[in-house]
């Protein structure tokens, strides 16, 4: 079933099925007012096509808002491939996907997301130039995970400053849900600041590494959302903040890297009612797309990237201040701020015609 209001300003939705390779993919272009739609490609074994479609629509809208709030000359788009990244990857499948991206004529620029690697991007790039996140080339940006993690780290610093009044993180406890690429880099940042880490993941090897490197405490995946901590940092899949989990939350701050952490916008109200500060996910996790944007626009500069990533701190403080002043949830305020930026760009485009 189509989730309510998923089509919110989308310009284009494409479905491709390549029988020879087995590729089934949705590519959603939400808005191109600020520039070509950019957003990663997610590979996931969805239960059905409707789940994949809903994910593409939600994620592409989030990318429009993410790119707008990060001040990037990019619109929002997303691709989802319906397949298992552990068993279904083939060169033919990724080449077919590259041809799908190419057929959109530059309206969509793809990059890494869940289930995808730099090597996958290289294969896709054999069929299209509209791809970023490559490990080499004239403007290659490489793996975006370290920059995503740095942005989340800066966002946690901003959230702790605003909510707890602390200028540093030493001695605080942060519960990290998911210690994959982004989560592990985040743990490294936090550990260096003297943070006590609690982690969960479905991959034992990742948990073992977190214990060895950061002396992290491990809890089961179904326990991480209810542990007592100063910050909960969801860094796995989305919709983890929902009707079932909210009553059990035991933190003053939620600040993590997963996309679409709220199962619905109304859950932002629930968090506000519980006096939990929520860092809008597409703001705090923008470090990766900031890194990719230089490659996508053909002008990669790591110093510019780091400055932009550091500015996530200031952007979140601005959102928190406006949300408090208006007595409204941070997720709703962030959405409106992003929409204001997109609307101004749209008006400038109209005026130029």
Instruction: Give SS3 for 138.
Output: coil
* Residues noted as catalytic: 78
Measured in whole angstroms, the distance separating CA 75 from the mean position of its chain's CA atoms is 15
Phi, psi of 268 (to 5 degrees): -65, -35
In the sheet that 277-278 helps form, which strands lie side by side, from edge to edge? 217-218, 196-200, 173-177, 231-234, 253-254, 277-278
Tell me which residue of 231, 330, 322 sits closest to 281, measured CA to CA.
330
Q: Which residues neighbour 278 within 8 Å (Cβ) at sequence distance 6 or greater?
A: 241, 254, 255, 261, 262, 268, 271, 272, 329, 330, 331
Instruction: Give SS3 for 108.
Output: strand
Q: How many residues does the chain have?
A: 353
Question: What DSSP state is assigned to residue 335?
Answer: H
Torsion-angle region of 22 (φ positive above 0: left; ψ -120 to 50: alpha; else: beta): left
Count Cβ atoms within 10 A of the Cβ of residue 269 and give its class: 0-12 exposed, 13-18 middle, 19 or more buried. middle
């Amino acid at each position: 079933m189509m989730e309510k209001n998923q089509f919110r300003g989308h310009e284009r939705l494409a479905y491709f099925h390549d029988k020879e390779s087995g590729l089934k993919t949705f590519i959603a272009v939400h808005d191109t007012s600020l520039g070509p739609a950019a957003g990663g490609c997610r590979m996931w074994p969805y239960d059905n096509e409707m789940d994949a479609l809903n994910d593409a629509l939600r994620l592409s809208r989030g990318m429009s808002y993410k790119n707008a709030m990060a001040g990037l000359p990019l619109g929002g788009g997303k691709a989802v491939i319906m397949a298992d990244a552990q068993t279904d990857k083939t060169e033919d499948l990724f080449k077919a996907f590259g041809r799908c991206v190419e057929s959109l004529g530059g309206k969509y620029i793809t990059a890494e997301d869940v289930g995808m690697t730099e090597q996958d991007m290289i294969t896709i790039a054999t069929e299209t130039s509209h791809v970023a996140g490559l490990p080499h080339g004239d403007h290659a940006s490489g793996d975006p995970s370290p920059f995503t993690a740095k942005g989340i780290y800066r966002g946690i610093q901003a959230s702790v400053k605003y909510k707890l009044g602390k200028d540093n993180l030493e001695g605080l406890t942060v519960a990290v849900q998911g210690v994959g690429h982004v989560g592990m880099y985040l743990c490294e940042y936090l550990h260096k600041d003297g943070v006590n880490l609690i982690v969960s993941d479905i991959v034992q090897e990742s948990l073992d590494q977190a214990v060895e490197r950061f002396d992290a405490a491990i809890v089961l995946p179904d326990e991480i959302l209810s542990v007592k901590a100063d910050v909960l940092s969801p860094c796995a899949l989305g919709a983890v903040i929902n009707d079932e989990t909210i009553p059990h939350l035991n933190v003053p701050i939620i600040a993590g890297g997963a996309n679409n952490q709220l199962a619905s916008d109304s859950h932002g109200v629930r968090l506000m009612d519980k006096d939990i500060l929520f860092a809008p996910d597409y703001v705090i996790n923008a470090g990766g797309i900031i890194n990719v944007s230089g490659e996508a626009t053909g002008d990669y500069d790591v110093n510019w990237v780091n400055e932009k990533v550091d500015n996530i701190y200031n952007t979140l403080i601005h959102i928190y201040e406006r949300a408090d002043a208006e007595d409204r949830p941070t997720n709703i305020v962030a959405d409106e701020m992003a929409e204001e930026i997109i609307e101004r760009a749209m008006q400038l485009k109209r005026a130029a015609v």
